[in-house]
Amino acid sequence: MFLKPDNILLIGSMLLLISVIAGKTLRRLGVPTLIFFLLIGIAAGSEGIGGIHFDNPALAQLIGIVALNFILFSGGLDTHWESIRPVLGRGISLSTVGVLFTAGSVGAFLHYGFDFTWAEGLLLGSVVSATDAAAVFSILRGRGIGLKGSLRPVLELESGSNDPMVYFLTITLTAIVAGNDSSFGQLLLSFAREFVLGGLLGWMMGRISVWLINNIGLETNGLYPVLTLALALFTYSFTHLLGGNGFLAIYLCAVIMGNSPMVRRRSVSRFYDGQAWLMQIILFLTLGLQVFPSRILPLVGTGLIISAFLIFVARPLGVFAALSFSKTNTRSKLFLSWVGLRGSVPIVFATYPLLAGIQKAELIFNLVFFISVTSVLLQGTTLPFVARLLRVAVRKPTDPTRVQDFEHHDNIKTEMRELLLPEGAPAAGKRIVELNVPAALNILTVKRNGLYIAPNGSTRLLANDVLHLLAEDDRAIARFAETLTGAAPKA
């Protein structure tokens, strides 16, 4: 079966439905659902029961890059600066020094133990040195397991910030293996340019994005996620065009946006959380379609040996080297070593050597795929057990308060509106307790000078305040608006 314009939507929707519905059952077994999406892609591929012919590394890479943009942007929006600031040094050290030690040790192992040149070994080592904390957190949340101390923010920061380093190493070593001569000075200059430009443009676009979103005043709320998407993709592509690291730029831009006062931030964050999941599913399905099991089966023995070295030697070496000067205890370092799951990122980066046409490109891609699957299956399923064994897990206490997402339902007929208090309004200067607030209406927040205030009876309203109202129907809002301003708000 070939993917064609007249069947791609049908096939795609069926794969998505199977992945989401059946993945819920697999999650209860402790296996990350994303690995199941990958297996669905394999089963639907050329050598699976679906028989869908797909062998297009360029398209798989393009889908991977777009998906990683969504995933990094969503992760950045949900990264809280207060939680990562105390662990900034450890997280950055893991995403740089840790990556270098992991890639170097795997490269040396492949060079001396297998038929790999130094450059080829370091290339494969670099590709598999990226971690995927999304799979980790899906297991921890599903089992209700929390982590002691600062382990969670360290993992969060490492997973979001190590992709730029891995990308740089992959591109550089792919060029070296392909025969492009580069001096150490040129490599150092390229490294500095990518990370300086990526950091600078990411910071600038984060600030510009916050200002634009807060001041553009779009009439339709649904356009804010669209505007945010345009800004995010522009940040990555423009940075990449100038020679900077686009992955670093888009992640840093999202971190700044997620930690700045910004209108519609919660709705935008929820939108991109859903989009990130969609992109991860599409990415894993695509990578699964790209894989030919008959080419991987002969590599099982070699793949198991390399996976064992990566899990039990290379990753711990990278973690202990990166955290050698920190106050992190040994049990936490051992847990961080075990958490080094490989996910979609290494498989996406493995398409770069494939497209470059280097000698061992197909071997590297198939090994990376096998190592990633093995890592997630072994480490992912045992993660809760290892956390308890190392005594770094804490059972989350029952929270008496529950976060409920408010949704509009026609049968409830609930209205949420904004009301601007103009100059000279009768309510300007009065406290809320002095107003005749109907029982069918609540004042949720008061926006003043770009800041949100949680109002109470003693809160004094001022001219140009924006009140966010929740009421049973239009009439309650209209009556209250007449009391405040002398005129009902426009529909």
**Per-residue model confidence as pLDDT tens digits over 28-45:** 555 566 677 788 888 887
Looking at residue 396, the DSSP 8-state letter turns out to be P
pTM: 0.75
What does the pLDDT look like over 422-471, one tens digit per residue? 888 888 888 887 887 877 788 889 998 888 888 887 788 998 899 988 88
% of residues, the chain, pLDDT over 70: 87
The structure tokens listed for 481 are 């608006």
What does the pLDDT look like over 107-124, one tens digit per residue? 999 999 998 999 999 999
Q: What is the mean pLDDT of the chain?
A: 83
Rounded distance between C-alpha atoms, residue 26 and residue 268, angstroms? 29
- Please say if the pLDDT value at position 97 is more than 70: yes
Query: Which pLDDT score, from 0 to 100, does residue 400 have?
Result: 41
Split at pLDDT 50, 70, 90, the class of 137 is low
Q: Are 245 and 171 in contact (CB under 8 A)?
A: no
Encoded amino acid at 40, one letter: I
Query: Which pLDDT score, from 0 to 100, does residue 31 have?
Result: 58
Domain boundaries, the chain: 55-395, 415-485
- Please say if the pLDDT value at position 224 is more than 80: yes
Mean pLDDT of all residues in 198-206: 95
Query: Which pLDDT score, from 0 to 100, does residue 406 have?
Result: 46
Rounded distance between C-alpha atoms, residue 259 and residue 210, angstroms? 10
Split at pLDDT 50, 70, 90, the class of 139 is low
Classified by CATH at the fold level, domain 415-485 comes out as Alpha-Beta Plaits (3.30.70)
Query: Which pLDDT score, from 0 to 100, does residue 26 have?
Result: 61
The shares of helix, strand and coil residues in the chain, as percent rounded to the nearest 5, are: 65, 5, 30
Query: Which pLDDT score, from 0 to 100, does residue 412 have?
Result: 43
- Please say if the pLDDT value at position 216 is more than 80: yes
What does the pLDDT look like over 166-175, one tens digit per residue? 999 999 999 9
Query: Which pLDDT score, from 0 to 100, does residue 32 have?
Result: 63
- Please say if the pLDDT value at position 402 is more than 50: no
Query: Which pLDDT score, from 0 to 100, does residue 251 have?
Result: 92
Q: Are 51 and 76 in contact (CB under 8 A)?
A: no
Where helices occur in 291-436 by DSSP H, the ranges are 293-296, 300-309, 315-322, 330-338, 344-349, 351-356, 361-375, 381-389
Q: Which residues pair with 460 in a beta bridge?
A: 431
Rounded distance between C-alpha atoms, residue 368 and residue 140, angstroms? 25
Mean pLDDT of all residues in 259-277: 81
Point out the least confidently predicted range of 32-46, 325-339, 394-408: 394-408
Rounded distance between C-alpha atoms, residue 108 and residue 116, angstroms? 9
The domain 55-395 is classified under which CATH number: 1.10.510.10, 3.50.50.60, 1.20.1530.20, 1.10.1070.11? 1.20.1530.20
